[in-house]
Amino acid sequence: MAHDEHEHELEHEHNHDHDHDHAHEHEVEEALEEALELDTQSQIFLEMRRQNLDLLRIATEVAGYTGEHGPLKPGDVRNALRNIWEVFAEFYTWVDPEEAEGDDEDEGEDDEDE
């Protein structure tokens, strides 16, 4: 009978070790999935920023502030930035119309508060 008890204890320890290994594998898998999701989110974020910079460069060209332009005078900077922003914002509504709809809703809420 002592032999059976010993085998039972060994089997129990083996099952416990197996459960522990399985739990550890599950934790590692979850950590890898989280890291992959963060990496994917980071890549999407960086790609969106790159696209915004490309769009800003195009808006600057369309607004006429590239090429053989001399330096802007201090009083002209604000006007130049406003013009570039208006072109950029218009382009952005073409690129991401859903975002533009969200902005309209936000503006409507601001109007109601006044």
pLDDT, tens digit, 9 for 90 and up, residues 7-16: 556 565 555 5
- Pairwise CA distance, residues 65 & 36, whole Å: 41
- Report the mean per-residue pLDDT for the chain: 77
Q: What is the pLDDT of residues 16-72, one digit of tens each?
A: 566 667 778 889 899 899 989 989 999 999 999 999 899 999 998 888 888 777 788
Instruction: Output the pLDDT for position 25.
Output: 87
Q: Which residue has the tokens 């459960």?
A: 19
The highest-confidence range among 20-24, 35-39, 73-77, 105-109, by mean pLDDT, is 35-39
Q: Quick check: 2 pLDDT over 60?
A: no
More confident site: 32 or 112? 32
Instruction: Output the pLDDT for position 112.
Output: 46
User: Which residues span the domain enclosing 109?
Assistant: 2-113
